[in-house]
Structure 1
Amino acid sequence: MNTTTHTEEQAVSKASTTATGDLSPLQAVIFDWAGTLVDFGSLAPTQIFVEAFASFGVSITLAQARGPMGLSKWDHIYQLLQDESIAAQWQTRFGHSPGNEDVDAIYARFMPMQIAKVGEFSAPIDGAVQTLQWLRDQGLKIGSCSGYPREVLNQLLPQAAAAGVQPDYVVAGDELEAGGRPGPYMALSNVLALAVSDVRACVKVDDTVPGIAEGLNAGMWTVGLSLSGNEVGYSLQEFANAPEDEVNARVASAEAKLKKAGAHYVVRSVIDLPDVLQSIAAEMRAGRKPV
């Protein structure tokens, strides 16, 4: 059984030990939501994808549902329908290969299900509240973006704010005409909204490969989160009960995937972010850039 937990006391300690650190010339940190700030394990969207497909008589696994995580939800459904086994089920059931109209149909079924359920997964990940406060104390701006549509975020944000998670800016996956991840557009929307003068003074924090690509494409530093996010996929209860060697193996796999995607740093969760930000700031002062 795994006995390592991230408690609120650890979070306060982590933040307090780095409170005197120099973060110049960093200006902003831009966070993902599920699996990064809230919803340990990024559980809210995963199960709903399974249920939405099941309502059409098509069976997908949790692992398949996690595959395209980080994309906007319409694009996520589109990518799932490109999977050979899922497309074959669709062909058998409906007599044709899945097309955009089918994506629209699943999306229309998915949305009310996700809206109804997302609030159940709004709890902050341990350390998130303290880390956001620490960033504000250091004078950094706090942005955020999500693959969730605005209708879903409208349900999530008030509950997250009540629990202490309230970035300065939020953009949803369906709000920009240019599109979502892996493009840089949501990250750059944060740059504009927060009046950041240099994209290289921003850090994108995310638990998914498309989210890391988003930050890289925007010219930012990137930090991947392994344990708390989609790539490991534990619920808190599963994490508490998992053997340590199993946890370490899953984390190692997630770290390798996020590093392969180009993440400059990978840590287990948001509680570990302050030390990494100090390292990035030191690199910047030494003249290095997030190339």
Structure 2
Amino acid sequence: MFSTLHRYERRYQGPIQAVIFDWAGTLVDFGSFAPTQVLIDAFKGFGIDISMEEARQPMGLAKWDHIQALGHLPGVAARWQAAHGRPMARGDVDAIYEAFMPLQIERVAAYSAVIPGALGVLAGLRERQVRIGSCTGYPRQVMNQLLPHAAMQGLVVDHAVATDDLKAGGRPGPWMALANLIELGVREVAACVKVDDTTPGIEEGLCAGMWTVGLAVSGNELGLTLAEWHGLDAESQSQRRAAAGRKLAQAGAHEVVGTIADLPAALSRIEARLARGERP
């Protein structure tokens, strides 16, 4: 007779150990305007007008990849062809990126006020001994400007990974999120949550095997300043939030909330799912 062998299935059912945050539209820069407006200005320097809506479409990618993706949008590609007599090439992406970088370094702080609720949420995580990681579509040179500016406002994370820190690259791959866990010494990927306002950022968390929370109000999908958001009537807020939330949910977010201020309730729901033996 042969005995039946049962594979042991290991399930983590403890508390959340780490939260990995995006930056623009998540922790700082309500509406995520620093990257979009500077991209618009960089393209304008090459004779190409792009709209804010176009600039937002590839948001979440590394900035070189973002520029390349913009060049592939039909409308932008047609305008480039008309202005330059040829399709956008890799060298053009390099040239726009080189023009973009000093503008982004110069202006990132001006756009990067801490989003309301962020400081309290991070303080609450630290009280629970949850590690706080972060990653971004910004390159390291930009983060070197942003991190001290955030610290001056009281926002400090345990670790930050920039999109050009790793040979493997950035989003939507899992590498930046996983690099945080290595640095933070977190061994349970299923005990980690990725928080982001873009679909590539949600995909990043899913690829890493983490729980994901999408932010529908403060980030790229809604694309309003805090004042513009508060200026909407209740019905308009509900409609705009629902539309942004649907995109993040369709990308696979386990939870979708408004801003980082709403994160604690989402984390409680995720911990309840963990306790039931569910996995990301």
TM, length-normalised to structure 1: 0.90
2-structure distance, mates of 1:37, 1:24:
26
Aligned to 2:143: 153
| Matched residue, 1:89 | 79
Q: What pairs up with 1:257-268 in 2 under 5 angstroms?
A: 257-268=247-258
Q: Secondary structure at the match of 2:240?
A: helix
Deviation at 1:208, TM superposition (A): 0.3
2: distance between equivalents of 1:270 and 1:78? 30
CA distance in 2, matches of 1:188, 1:35: 21
Provide the residue aligned with 1:119 in structure 2: 109
User: Does residue 281 of the first structure (1) align with residue 271 of the second (2)?
Assistant: yes
**Residue 245 (structure 1) aligned to one of 227, 235, 245:** 235
Q: Distance in 1 between matches of 2:83 and 2:36?
A: 23
Among 89, 94, 112, the alignment partner of 1:99 is 89
Matched residue, 1:178: 168
Q: Which has the larger radius of gyration?
A: 2
Q: CA deviation at 1:250?
A: 1.2
Letter of the 2:83 counterpart: R
- Relative to 1, partners in 2 of residues 1:164 and 1:24: Cα closer, same or farther, differing over 3 Å? farther
Deviation at 1:285, TM superposition (A): 1.1
- Secondary structure of 2:20's partner? strand
Q: Letter of the 2:23 partner, please give it.
A: W
Once residues 114 and 125 of structure 2 are traced to their aligned partners in structure 1, the CA distance between those partners, rounded to angstroms, is 16
Structure 1 position 24, deviation (Å): 4.0
Cα distance in 1, alignment partners of residues 207 and 198 from structure 2: 14
1:163 corresponds to 2:157: no
Deviations 1:48-70 (A, max 9, x none): 11111111110110000000100
**Comparing 236-245 with 193-202, which one deviates more in the overlay?**
236-245
> Structure 1 regions of 5+ residues with no counterpart?
1-22
For the pair 1:221 / 2:211, whether they are aligned, the reply is yes
- AA partner of residue 138 (structure 1): R
Alignment of 1:137 onto 2:136: no
Query: Please, which runs of 5 or more residues in structure 2 have no aligned partner?
Result: 1-12
AA in 2 matched with 1:65: A
Tell me the SS of whatever aligns to 1:30: strand
CA distance in 1, matches of 2:195, 2:231: 27
**Which letter maps to 1:203?**
V
Q: Which amino acid aligns with 1:257?
A: K
Deviates most, 90-99 or 211-220: 90-99
Query: Aligned partners of 2:220 and 2:259: how far apart in 1?
Result: 12
Give the Å deviation of 1:240: 2.2
**How high is the TM-score relative to the length of structure 2?**
0.94
Which residue, out of 33, 36, 39, partners 1:43?
33
Q: CA deviation at 1:280?
A: 0.7
1:270 aligned to which of 252, 260, 264? 260
1:76 is aligned, of 49, 66, 75, to 66
